[in-house]
Chains A and B, each alone.
Chain A
Amino acid sequence: MHELSLAHSLIEQLLDLAKEHQAERITRVTVTLGPFSGIVRDSFEFGFDNLKQSQPATREAVLKLETPDPVYICLDCNKVSVIPFLVPNDPMDMKYHSLYPKKCPWCCSNRLSPKDGTELILNQVEME
């Protein structure tokens, strides 16, 4: 629900950067959304694509989102594993089925604790 306010603060950051670097327009923006940030990728993109229209400097900006896979630490065996989220429109993908419901691939414990992954970072901005 708060993706729109985040997209709004991103637009403001971009306008400040364009001013600071005396650029007329932003062409490309790279953002990392951590897997445990609680930010929904589609909603954030939707918010950005709507809000960017309101400013001449951001109107043509292309948003490139990087969404790293979630990393867990097993509280029983202490091993770290990467277990991707299931993609809702691809429920028949058998590749990951053995991992769901989520359990440690090393010891099969279900006590998987999220590791880091709350970051929301504006990485790089291209402008001209």
Chain B
Amino acid sequence: MCDTCGCQLHEHHHHDAKVVEVNQSLLAANQKQANSNRHHIEEMGAVAINMISSPGSGKTTLLERTIDALKDTVKIGVIEGDIETERDADRIRAKGVPAVQLTTGGACHLDAPMVHGGLHVLEHFAKGSKYDLIFIENVGNLVCPATFDLGEHQRVVLLSVPEGSDKPAKYPATFRSADLVLITKTDLLPYFDFSMDEAKKETLTLKPELPIFPLSATTGDGFDQWIAYLRSLLHN
């Protein structure tokens, strides 16, 4: 019997057939670039945050308010991922912070090689000075971005009140990959059938101990906790 496939028909195998045990991740190339990005970000003096959520959950608005709160004391850079348009990067630039727009032209997620390109552009914008905090706003999508390490230090997943409290249970891979979950647009709680208990319970079933911060970028409720979390990550 053939050792390779267990078949009885030895003739169909060529004598120079070779079996290679690879045992390597399918994401090995992305992972290698992600590790190099992480090193690059540290060389730039910064920590990086990968922000993942569905479209319209408030990632860019959260960034605008965060920049308002931090920009006098913290040097921020932003990499924006979208399928098309410079709109998000323009919103960030209007706040006086350097922003690079990556347009994927259809791809549903950012990957580490794309972010590598973005980091070099951010570095160019800084003209030799350092960054403290780099936000990478992923393509709006609760599915695909979960698989790709970009070289971030922390992964923040946003869930907005209008999306519904069942989303952690429905998109487990993304919520399970988070280091922090933000429940955004809490000012809309009176108008939506959103159960904070359900959202928290489902998230903590996927990953016990995961911190969850409810907040509203409109009213500022819960913002102090988010800002304190960001400050705790900074190198100095």
Please give, as numbers and ranges, the residues of chain A lying within 8 Å of B21 by CB-CB distance.
Answer: 123-124
Q: Give Cα A114 to B5, complex, Å.
A: 33
> Is A127 on the interface with B (CB-CB < 8 A)?
yes
Binding site for A on B (CB under 8 A): 4-5, 14, 16-30, 107-109, 111, 141, 143-144, 146-148, 172-174, 176-177, 205-208
> Is A17 on the interface with B (CB-CB < 8 A)?
yes
The answer to whether B26 touches A122, judged by C-beta atoms less than 8 angstroms apart, is yes
Q: Write 11 A-B pairs (CB below 8 A) sorted by A numbering.
A: A5-B107, A10-B26, A36-B173, A114-B176, A114-B206, A118-B177, A122-B22, A122-B23, A122-B26, A126-B20, A128-B18
- Least Cβ distance of B25 to chain A in Å? 6
Please give, as numbers and ranges, the residues of chain B lying within 8 Å of A121 by CB-CB distance.
Answer: 23-26
Binding site for B on A (CB under 8 A): 1-2, 5-6, 9-10, 12-13, 17, 21, 23, 27-28, 31, 36-39, 75, 111-114, 118-128
Main secondary structure of the interface of B (DSSP, over half): mixed
The answer to whether A37 touches B173, judged by C-beta atoms less than 8 angstroms apart, is yes
The answer to whether A113 touches B205, judged by C-beta atoms less than 8 angstroms apart, is yes
Cβ contact of A23, chosen from B18, B22, B26, B205, cutoff 8 A:
B18
- Least Cβ distance of B169 to chain A in Å? 10
Main secondary structure of the interface of A (DSSP, over half): mixed
Q: A75-B208, A120-B27 are in contact. Are A126 and B22 (CB under 8 A)?
A: no
Please give, as numbers and ranges, the residues of chain B lying within 8 Å of A39 by CB-CB distance.
Answer: 147
In chain B, what residue has the closest Cβ to A1? Answer: B108
In chain B, what residue has the closest Cβ to A127? Answer: B18
The answer to whether A38 touches B146, judged by C-beta atoms less than 8 angstroms apart, is yes
In chain A, what residue has the closest Cβ to B14? Answer: A128
Q: Give Cα A70 to B148, complex, Å.
A: 21
- Least Cβ distance of A114 to chain B in Å? 7
- Least Cβ distance of B15 to chain A in Å? 9
- Least Cβ distance of A4 to chain B in Å? 10
- Least Cβ distance of A39 to chain B in Å? 7
The answer to whether A120 touches B20, judged by C-beta atoms less than 8 angstroms apart, is no
In chain A, what residue has the closest Cβ to B18? Answer: A127
Given contacts A2-B108, A39-B147, A120-B147, 11 further A-B contacts (CB under 8 A): A1-B108, A2-B148, A13-B26, A17-B22, A28-B5, A36-B173, A37-B173, A75-B208, A119-B25, A124-B22, A128-B18
